[in-house]
Amino acid sequence: MSAAKGKPDIADLEPLLCDTMNMLDVLVSMMDRMGLTSKPAGSNHVLTHGEADQLFFVACTAESMSEKARQAYYEALGWGASS
């Protein structure tokens, strides 16, 4: 982190970006195991309540992590990130 400015350097973003990519990998792996990635477009797939809860949690966590990474990236560049 840049001590003078109190903002992260681009190099400081690597752990956050790696964690975000890992969470997205977990999400896609879950979708693969549930058979969601091999379904033809327009077809239906029924999830159990537990599967839906797990998938929703991981998707929300991945979205939150990617938003944090985006905000940190723009902060490191000195740009204001719009939400």
What is the tens place of the pLDDT at every residue in 28-76?
Answer: 999 999 988 887 888 888 899 999 999 999 999 999 999 999 999 998 8
Looking at residue 12, its pLDDT comes to: 86
Which residue pairs from 20-28 have beta carbons closer than 8 angstroms and sit at least 24 positions apart in sequence? 20/62, 20/65, 20/66, 20/68, 20/69, 23/58, 23/61, 23/62, 23/65, 24/62, 24/66, 26/58, 26/62, 27/55, 27/58, 27/59, 27/62
pLDDT of 5 above 70: no
24 assigned to some structural domain: yes
38 assigned to some structural domain: yes
pLDDT of 2 above 50: no
If one counts the domains in the chain, the total is 1
23 assigned to some structural domain: yes
Looking at residue 3, its pLDDT comes to: 46
pTM score, whole prediction: 0.74
Looking at residue 41, its pLDDT comes to: 81
4 assigned to some structural domain: no
Q: Which residue has the higher pLDDT, 1 or 18?
A: 18
Name the residue range of residue 62's domain.
10-77
As given in the structure block, the two tokens for residue 45 are 């797939």
